[in-house]
Amino acid sequence: MSGLDEAGVIELIACGELPRSDILLGIGDDAAVLQPPPGKLMVLAVDTLNEGVHFPKDIEPRDLGHRAVAVNLSDLAAMGATPAWALLSLSMPTAEADWVSGFAEGARRLARRHDVAIVGGDTVRGPLSVCVQVVGFVDPGRFLARGNAKPGDSVFVTGHPGDASAGLAVLQSGGGDNRLTDRFLRPQPRTDIGRAIAGVASAAIDISDGLVTDLGRLAAASGVRLVVELRDLPLSEALVDLMGAGRALEHALGGGDDYELCFTVEPGRVPALDHMAADWDCGITRIGYVEVGEGVVLLRDGKPCPDTSVQTWQHFPKASS
Ligand SMILES: [Mg+2]
């Protein structure tokens, strides 16, 4: 392994950069020069991941690169936007070529899968930390937000919430790679689904901090109450097998890092959603409905249940050390 200077790091990150015709100048100049598509709205998101807070210390560089891009793409998916460009800032104590090339490959591979080009970056010496900014586009009037859910709408979620936080628990207890750890280490942003539901959903959010916490944000932004029926939560077989039904439910409700989409749909648009969803591998599940009120109410077989077992996710808790 050899140490790299800043130019060496940037060269590794730039290598194999996806050519997009809207990039007039990409990595290598003082700044990128880009041509936004005419008539579209720009949608921007930025996220910083710090070692020991947002990812475990011994994470593989490739997984960290993937994750840093994934969490940002997930935010754009929740807006119904099509991602296009990303900027990447990397702080690290030493710049080892093997580490940087693994990181760059993880970031680039996921970016390319979503037709996103890394158009610029920065690197500094310091504690391990990654900051990614993404830019995407959406047609005017077609972006999703948290604030438009209406009483009577249904609440849907993609995939299987809880798998990622259970995967983190497996990693923290020294377990090896499996389907659950894969969901934590390599979350798959729901870009295509976000884009597809932009004309159908009334409100949307991505689940980063836990289903109940993020549903609470959507409820607050919309000024409504979300009612969730626990028996309808799509617990994965892998999650229930590993944790048992009770703890599986806690992970699904309170675990973070899922990067699934949660969204509301008015009754008249549910058939259109069902039609589209037939093509989505991760699946979607109706988990509840919207009513007048505030907050999130959990039902067990139709009856309100106290959510005392639900712990909201607090940015990578103590167990990380
Ligand atoms: Mg988000």
| For helices 211-222 and 237-254, angle between their N-to-C axes, nearest 10 degrees | 40
96 pLDDT above the threshold of 50: yes
**Residue 307's pLDDT is what?**
54
Architecture of domain 154-314: Alpha-Beta Complex (3.90)
Q: How far is the CA of 262 from the centre of ligand 1 (A)?
A: 10
**Residue 247, SS3?**
helix
Q: How far apart are CA 220 and CA 3, in angstroms?
A: 48
Superfamily of domain 6-138: PurM-like, N-terminal domain (3.30.1330.10)
Handedness of CA 204, 210, 214, 219 (dihedral sign): positive
Which bin fits 141, alpha (ψ -120 to 50), beta or left (φ > 0)?
left
Q: How far apart are CA 38 and CA 26, in angstroms?
A: 20
* Residue, of 132 and 16, whose pLDDT is higher: 132
**Residue 125, SS3?**
strand
Over residues 292-317, the pLDDT tens digits come to 999 999 998 888 876 544 544 443 44
**Residue 143's pLDDT is what?**
94
1 pLDDT above the threshold of 50: no
* Residue, of 37 and 54, whose pLDDT is higher: 37
What mean pLDDT, rounded, does the chain reach? 90
**Residue 81's pLDDT is what?**
98
Yes or no: say if 149 and 216 are a contact pair by the CB < 8 Å rule: no
Q: How far is the CA of 78 from the centre of ligand 1 (A)?
A: 7
54 pLDDT above the threshold of 90: no
DSSP track, 44-102: EEEEEEEBTTTB-TT--HHHHHHHHHHHHHHHHHHTT-EEEEEEEEEEESS-BHHHHHH
Q: How far is the CA of 47 from the centre of ligand 1 (A)?
A: 9
Which bin fits 108, alpha (ψ -120 to 50), beta or left (φ > 0)?
alpha
Over residues 249-267, the pLDDT tens digits come to 999 999 889 999 999 999 9
DSSP state of 191: H
Over residues 112-138, the pLDDT tens digits come to 999 999 998 888 899 999 999 999 999
Q: How far is the CA of 318 from the centre of ligand 1 (A)?
A: 23
Q: How far apart are CA 46 and CA 23, in angstroms?
A: 20
Q: How far is the CA of 27 from the centre of ligand 1 (A)?
A: 27
Q: How far is the CA of 72 from the centre of ligand 1 (A)?
A: 8
Q: How far is the CA of 74 from the centre of ligand 1 (A)?
A: 7
In the chain, CATH 3.90.650.10 covers 154-314
**Residue 17's pLDDT is what?**
60
Q: What is the pTM of this model?
A: 0.91
285 pLDDT above the threshold of 50: yes
Yes or no: say if 295 and 225 are a contact pair by the CB < 8 Å rule: yes
Over residues 159-211, the pLDDT tens digits come to 999 999 999 999 888 877 788 999 999 999 999 999 999 989 999 999 999 99
**Residue 10's pLDDT is what?**
75
Q: How far is the CA of 71 from the centre of ligand 1 (A)?
A: 8
Q: How far is the CA of 246 from the centre of ligand 1 (A)?
A: 27
44-58, 71-85, 196-210: lowest mean pLDDT where? 44-58
Residue with tokens 């050519």: 19
DSSP state of 128: S
**Residue 319's pLDDT is what?**
38
**Residue 117's pLDDT is what?**
93
Percentage of residues in the chain having pLDDT higher than 90: 74
28 pLDDT above the threshold of 90: no
Q: How far apart are CA 122 and CA 130, in angstroms?
A: 10
In the chain, CATH 3.30.1330.10 covers 6-138
